[in-house]
Each structure stands twice: as structure tokens, then as C-alpha cells.
A = this chain, B = another copy of it.
């Protein structure tokens, strides 16, 4: 391997090699009229008083996995945080921390994947930064992205709007991303077709919010899975309980099978393209019908309802009992996203 096939410490010193790295590796893929200025900050246009901002660091291991890679994840993850907040994602700022010795071909592949994801989600990268640290001071590449968007017109979401009788809807089968990453890391003997569900949610959430008024609140189901997300929502209200119906929770057959073998609960596994909706009871059935028939979310389902209560999440199990769900605790699977 030639010296110039890998990231060197000098690529991060702000001098000539940093300049070349940006010119040769970032701009050809990510360049646009706003980014090309290469100034200390970028001027963006927001035609709204309601601007939404989110930030996330992506440290997923491995950096390439079935269904995606760290670059794609870093765009869709941030797009999704804005989407479930009712915003139209517009701009992304991206910062890279690279390990000395990282192959430039890998960086190129990740940046190209980010560019493709930006196209798919219709967002622009408007600001960036690159740092390089020594070997074993970071594991290959970490990416932090900030998303900026504007609230969709007429949309008003918030967990404070959730009321008893509201229905809980999930957009599709749970657990695929988390299980996919876990299977990549472990030394398992069986072959599977499980892929990450990594996808941009603005493509389905925008038409959904334009069509229905009864959506109260949404969250994407990343770290901690559906169970942790619902427990957080219930706890923060304190005056509601959430009652889930296990039988109605969509999980792919293969995911369910492997989870049973490995003793995992898909309700606690991360997803990167699934979300939960709290919606008015009266609209919930037509909402699910729309999701299934018009948005291509064939397994979208009503999985539970809100009751008066004191911050708990209960699940009616398939065998007829009821169990209480808590936040994920212990047995962590680190670096899932």
C-alpha cells in the first residue's frame, strides 16, 4: 500500500493535506452551491419561524453491514429525528473523526453512500469538519451529523397531547437493525438474510401528516427499541399507562426465530427505519390503512392503546398474561448506531 492510500495525521492539521482531502474526497460527492464556499460557517435559508435542530453521533460497528453503512445511517438517522418531530429535513452538517491509517478507499465509499442518502432524503450537506486522531484513539471513523429542518405547515405534535384512548401504531416489523448488527459481530454458525431497516422516514411521514390531523406524537425506534421508547413517554407523562397487545406487534418471522434462539426481545432491539405514532382512536384505522396501501408500509399495525394511569407500560402477552415493560437495562449491545 502506498503512503497516500491511507489517512495520515497531516490530513487533519488544517493545512495542505486537509485542503486536498476536502477537494478530492468530500466535495466531488457532497459539494453543492452552499458547501462550496468552504467558509467557517454556511448561510442557509429557512422560510419559517419554526426551525428544528437535532444532533447525533454515529459510532456503529461494523461500519459496513447488510442494508447500510455508517455514512447512510448518519444521514437517515438525523433525517428521521427531524421527520418524527413533524419537520421537513433540509440541511445536514457533518463532522468526521478519522483514525490515522484508515484506507482512503473506505472513506470514499462512505462519503459516496452519504451523498446517495442525501439525494434519497432530499437534504443538502451545508457544513463539515474533519479531524484525524492517532491509531487506537478512535475506531476507524465516527460521524456526527446535525439536521436542520422546518416544521411542516399546520403540524402540531407533542407528547403532552397524548390522551387516554389514543392508539399506538408502529410502522413495520421491529428489531431488524439491532439483530443485523449483533449477527455481524458475533461468531454465529447460521446464515440469515436479515438486513438493517435503515431508511429515510420523511418520505412516508410527510404524506402521512398532510393527510391526517389526528397524529399526536411520533418517535423513531432506535436505541432501546419500542419498549424503552414507550416507557420514556409514559414516565414523562405520569398520568397515562400504555397497554400493548403482543400478538399485534409486527416482527419478521426470521427475526422472531433468531431472537427466540438467542434469548433476545425484539421490543428492545434498535430500528433505523421504524417509528411509533400516537393517534386519535377515530382516525387510527384509516391511518393504518393509508400506511399499508398508499405508503407501502404493509405491516403497519395498531399495537396498543393509551389508558389513564401512572406512567407504566403493560403488555398483554400471547399466552394471555400481562407483563410490565421497563427501559432497557443491562446486557447492552454497544455501538448499534
Q: Which residues of A contact B (CB under 8 A)?
A: 8-10, 12-19, 38-47, 49-59, 61, 80-82, 84-85, 87, 91, 93-97, 100, 126-129, 131-134, 136-139, 142, 144, 146-149, 151, 159, 219-220, 222-224, 228, 232, 236, 268, 270, 326-330, 332-336
Give 4 closest A-B pairs by Cβ, nearest first: A14-B223, A15-B328, A14-B224, A41-B54
| Smallest CB gap from A333: residue in B | B13
Asked if B53 contacts A44 (CB within 8 A), the reply is yes
Contacts A81-B40, A137-B139: A144 and B57 contacting too (C-beta < 8 A)?
yes
Asked if B52 contacts A43 (CB within 8 A), the reply is yes
Question: A9–B328 Cα gap in the complex (Å)?
Answer: 13
Asked if A40 contacts B85 (CB within 8 A), the reply is yes
Asked if B49 contacts A329 (CB within 8 A), the reply is no
Contacts A56-B129, A127-B55, A148-B148: A328 and B42 contacting too (C-beta < 8 A)?
no
Question: A17–B42 Cα gap in the complex (Å)?
Answer: 36
Question: A46–B19 Cα gap in the complex (Å)?
Answer: 32
> Which residues on B sit within 8 Å (CB–CB) of A54?
40-42, 93, 127
Copies of this chain in its oligomeric complex: 2
| Smallest CB gap from A128: residue in B | B55
Asked if B55 contacts A19 (CB within 8 A), the reply is no
| Smallest CB gap from A42: residue in B | B53
> Which residues on B sit within 8 Å (CB–CB) of A132?
334
Closest beta carbon of chain B to A82's beta carbon, Å: 5
Asked if A96 contacts B57 (CB within 8 A), the reply is yes
> Which residues on B sit within 8 Å (CB–CB) of A51?
43-46, 51, 148
Asked if B49 contacts A45 (CB within 8 A), the reply is yes
> Which residues on B sit within 8 Å (CB–CB) of A270?
14
| Smallest CB gap from A11: residue in B | B332
> Which residues on B sit within 8 Å (CB–CB) of A224?
13-15, 18
Closest beta carbon of chain B to A226's beta carbon, Å: 12
Question: A137–B59 Cα gap in the complex (Å)?
Answer: 10
Most chain B CB inside 10 Å of its own CB: which residue of A126, A328, A334: A334
Contacts A97-B59, A126-B53: A10 and B138 contacting too (C-beta < 8 A)?
no
| Smallest CB gap from A58: residue in B | B131
> Which residues on B sit within 8 Å (CB–CB) of A82?
40-41
Closest beta carbon of chain B to A161's beta carbon, Å: 12
Asked if A40 contacts B219 (CB within 8 A), the reply is yes
